[in-house]
Structure formats: structure tokens, C-alpha cells
């Protein structure tokens, strides 16, 4: 008799786990509360024929060849180097910030002196985090980091996360480094790609397996619960013994009994202009503007030969499930990480519950990190007695 597995969520984490287990001969059912596959990577063509991403911009990038090869098993990909920028004081600069940033905001003489100091201070580094540069002993170098922090990192972080930059985990501030060159491009990974067709096509191929069935519009929390003793999962009040891979918000599975974990949500204001181009690069941040954080122009993500341009203005906001918005990012603070550990300890008491993904793991994963985690979880499930 085939062993059954339930996967909650059809984003990258859930879909990869489903495929890996299905190829081992197990019958996998996926419950997805949305009306589409692909999670936050879902894309589609809008009324103007432009391929857009419903939940914000995504590109796949990684340093690991095996993760890139995995993605290539299910779709064709085209090389794509994401370029981004930021605007403050009505002035544009590339991001990550580089020597062009220095030339833009400093006098010619001051810029030359600062660039020379940076090259001497970081002789073997191409980049450094703003946290590192803020701690440098040289007052000019430290002053440059403080200038960037006050004009970009601090106001953007406060809007994006809804808390003071002093409260956010330092890993968030380290995501966008400073460059010590004129090099542009948001990532430095050797593998940077976008799908030749679409992310949805990739997910269709990933899930195209006889042992996988997907139920859309199926909210797991309407029928899945934890027993009063906290030691087993219940389906419609009955004990559920099959393995359950859960990718959703962990606090909600436990009825938020220890309070809500903080997740950040987004609102997208969709717009179209009958013009060739809106902005110089696909994604531009506006740290000083009230309300929104960035604008994404989708005809450049990837480049599309179409009339006009579709774009979104992105507004961050708190996640409130009763308002039917989506949890996008875990808000990582010392307090929230301790709170999550309480829920994770509770989850560990349920033998057939497996956590995987940005929400369930309460981690700010990039796509390649989510893929790596899903592959590791799949391997551990197969290796355990859970599926014997």
C-alpha cells in the first residue's frame, strides 16, 4: 500500500518536497489555500500582455551549481542580472551602493579621497555590509556609512518592517552590502536567471507527477488542528497519522496560543502607462517617500518587447489574517525569535509534523535558500522511519 503524505502549501518549499517524495513512490496531496500554484512566485500575463508577478519581484540566484541544476530539470532559464536603484533628495543611485553613489553625493575631491580610503581599508574585499562600515575607525569611512544609513537603510527599514532599525535583526541590514567599485547588479552569485516561459510554467512541470494531487482553495487550518494534549495532529477532529509537511505560519497552526508571530505584509498598487519606460532599472526604492517603499516595472523583469509598461507601487503593512492579506516576511527581532522557539518546541512534540519554508521556519529565505531547505527536509523524511 502506498504511503501517503500531506503537504500544506504549494509555494517553492511545498512543491519541491512534494516532487521529491512523489519520485520516491509516495502519494502526495497538497493543500493550497490560494487559487493558484507557485506561492509568492506566481506570475501571469496582465490585460496588456505583460508578464507580471502578483506578489512582488522574484529572480532566482545562487552560488550553488546543484541548486541551479535542480531548477533546470523542470524549465528553461535565461541569464538575468537584476539591477536596482534608490532615489532620495530627487537623486538616483544604483543599489547596492557603489563608487557611482560616492561620485553622485560627494564633491570630486572628497569622492576621490573616500574611494581611496575604502580601497585601502578593504583591500581584499569587493563588498562589505553597512554594519561593518558603520563600525570602522576612520571617521570619513564611518561618515559615509552613516550618510547611507540615515538616508536609505534607516527610513527604508522603518517603513518596510514597521519598527526601528535598532530592533531588527542585523541579518536584515546585511542583505544589501556596499560595493567598493563601479560594479552594478543586485547580486554577485554566479547563477542568476529568470524563467524563459514563466514561474507558473516551472511549477506546472515541477508538479507534473502521477503521485501528486493539488487541491486549490483548500485552507488547511479549516480542518487541521493540534490535539489538546499537543502531541498529535487532528483532521476534522480525528487523529492524523500520516506525515504532514507544513509551510504556513507556525503560530496559526497552534491557534496563536503564545501570541501572534510578527509577519510583514504588502499592498500593491497596480498601474499601467502607455510609454516605453518608467524608470531606468526594474526595481527602484524610495526610502524617503511617505507610505511606499519601491516601484517594480515588470516589462524589465525580464525584458519584454511589449507596448506600454505595467508596474506596481509597493506599500508595506502589518499582517492581519482577518484582513485577508498575506504574510510575506517574518519580522526578525530578539523577541520574535524567542517567541518562535516556543512554537517550534511545541511542534517538536508532534512526531509526524515537519516544518519547512520561510513562514514555518520563521526565516527570511531567498529562493535558493528555500530550495536548499526543501531538499534537505525531503532527504531527512525519506531517511527517517516516518515513511517506512
CATH for 357: 3.40.50.720
Query: What does the pLDDT average to over 337-365?
Result: 97
Same domain, 252 and 226: yes
Assess if residue 100 is contained within a domain: yes
Phi, psi at residue 98, to the nearest 5°? -140, -165
Same domain, 108 and 165: yes
Band of residue 388 on the pLDDT scale cut at 50, 70, 90: very low
Boundary residue ending a domain (140, 160, 179): 179
Q: What is the DSSP letter of 375?
A: H
Assess if residue 19 is contained within a domain: yes
Band of residue 359 on the pLDDT scale cut at 50, 70, 90: very high
Band of residue 159 on the pLDDT scale cut at 50, 70, 90: very high
Tell me the torsion sign for CA atoms 85, 87, 92, 93. Answer: negative
Assess if residue 376 is contained within a domain: yes
Rounded-to-integer distance, Cα 147 and Cα 162, Å: 21
Contact (CB, 8 A) for 34 and 11: no
Same domain, 173 and 249: no
pLDDT value at 360 more than 80: yes
Tell me the torsion sign for CA atoms 383, 385, 386, 388. Answer: positive
> pLDDT tens-digit profile of 52-98?
999 999 999 999 999 999 999 999 999 999 999 999 999 999 999 99
Rounded-to-integer distance, Cα 275 and Cα 279, Å: 11
Same domain, 235 and 375: yes
Boundary residue ending a domain (133, 162, 179): 179
Rounded-to-integer distance, Cα 283 and Cα 48, Å: 20
Same domain, 175 and 149: yes
Instruction: Give the residue among 80, 56, 84 at the shortest CA–CA distance from 68.
Output: 80
φ/ψ region of 118 (left if φ > 0, alpha if ψ in -120 to 50, else beta) reads alpha
CA distances from 178 to 118, 137, 270, 339 (A): 10, 17, 31, 32
Assess if residue 115 is contained within a domain: yes
Same domain, 213 and 298: no
Q: Which three cell numbers stand for residue 326?
A: 498575506
Structural domain range at position 351: 4-37+207-261+330-387
Of 108-122, 158-172, 209-223, the least confident: 158-172
Same domain, 254 and 365: yes
Same domain, 381 and 247: yes
Assess if residue 88 is contained within a domain: no
Indicate the pTM of the whole model.
Answer: 0.94
Same domain, 165 and 99: yes
Neighbours of 255 (CB within 10 A): 10
Report the domain count for the chain: 3
Assess if residue 184 is contained within a domain: no
Residue 386: what pLDDT? Answer: 62
pLDDT value at 331 more than 70: yes
Residue 252 CB-density burial (10 A; 0-12 exposed, 13-18 middle, 19+ buried): middle
Rounded-to-integer distance, Cα 159 and Cα 291, Å: 7
Assess if residue 249 is contained within a domain: yes
Assess if residue 104 is contained within a domain: yes
pLDDT value at 176 more than 90: no
Rounded-to-integer distance, Cα 214 and Cα 126, Å: 45
Same domain, 343 and 222: yes
Same domain, 212 and 157: no
Amino acid at each position: 500500500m502506498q504511503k501517503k503524505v500531506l503537504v500544506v502549501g504549494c509555494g517553492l518549499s511545498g512543491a519541491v518536497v512534494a516532487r521529491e517524495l512523489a519520485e520516491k513512490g509516495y502519494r502526495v496531496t497538497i493543500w493550497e489555500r490560494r487559487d493558484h500554484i507557485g506561492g509568492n512566485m506566481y506570475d501571469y500575463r496582465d490585460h496588456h500582455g505583460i508578464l507580471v508577478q502578483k506578489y512582488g519581484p522574484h529572480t532566482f540566484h545562487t552560488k550553488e551549481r546543484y541548486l541551479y541544476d535542480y531548477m533546470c530539470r523542470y524549465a528553461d532559464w535565461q541569464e538575468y542580472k537584476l539591477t536596482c536603484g534608490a532615489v532620495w533628495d530627487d537623486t538616483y543611485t544604483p543599489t547596492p551602493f557603489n563608487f557611482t553613489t560616492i561620485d553622485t553625493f560627494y564633491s570630486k575631491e572628497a569622492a576621490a579621497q573616500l574611494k581611496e580610503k575604502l580601497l585601502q581599508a578593504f583591500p581584499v574585499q569587493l563588498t562589505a555590509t553597512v554594519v561593518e562600515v558603520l563600525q570602522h575607525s576612520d571617521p570619513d569611512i564611518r561618515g559615509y556609512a552613516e550618510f547611507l544609513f540615515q538616508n536609505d537603510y534607516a527610513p527604508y527599514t522603518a517603513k518596510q518592517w514597521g519598527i526601528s532599525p535598532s530592533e531588527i535583526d542585523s541579518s536584515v541590514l546585511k542583505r544589501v552590502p556596499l560595493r567598493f567599485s563601479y560594479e552594478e547588479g543586485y547580486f554577485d552569485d554566479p547563477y542568476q536567471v529568470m524563467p524563459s516561459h514563466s514561474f507558473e510554467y516551472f511549477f506546472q512541470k515541477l508538479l507534473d507527477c502521477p503521485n501528486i494531487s493539488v487541491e486549490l482553495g483548500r485552507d488547511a487550518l479549516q480542518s487541521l488542528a493540534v490535539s489538546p494534549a499537543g502531541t498529535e495532529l487532528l483532521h476534522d477532529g480525528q487523529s492524523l497519522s500520516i506525515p504532514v509537511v507544513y509551510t504556513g505560519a507556525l503560530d496559526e497552526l497552534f491557534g496563536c496560543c503564545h501570541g501572534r508571530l510578527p509577519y510583514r505584509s504588502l499592498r500593491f498598487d497596480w498601474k499601467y502607462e502607455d510609454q516605453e519606460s518608467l524608470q531606468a532599472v526594474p526595481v527602484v526604492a524610495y526610502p524617503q517617500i511617505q507610505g511606499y517603499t519601491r516601484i517594480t516595472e515588470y516589462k524589465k523583469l525580464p525584458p519584454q518587447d511589449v507596448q506600454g509598461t505595467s508596474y506596481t507601487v509597493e506599500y508595506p503593512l502589518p499582517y492581519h489574517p482577518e484582513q485577508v492579506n498575506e504574510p510575506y516576511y517574518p519580522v526578525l527581532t530578539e523577541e520574535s525569535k524567542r517567541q518562535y522557539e516556543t512554537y517550534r518546541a511545541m511542534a517538536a512534540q508532534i512526531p509526524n509534523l515537519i516544518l519547512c519554508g520561510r513562514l514555518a521556519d520563521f526565516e527570511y529565505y531567498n529562493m535558493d535558500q528555500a530550495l536548499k531547505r526543501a531538499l534537505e527536509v525531503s532527504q531527512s523524511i525519506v531517511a527517517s522511519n516516518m515513511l517506512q
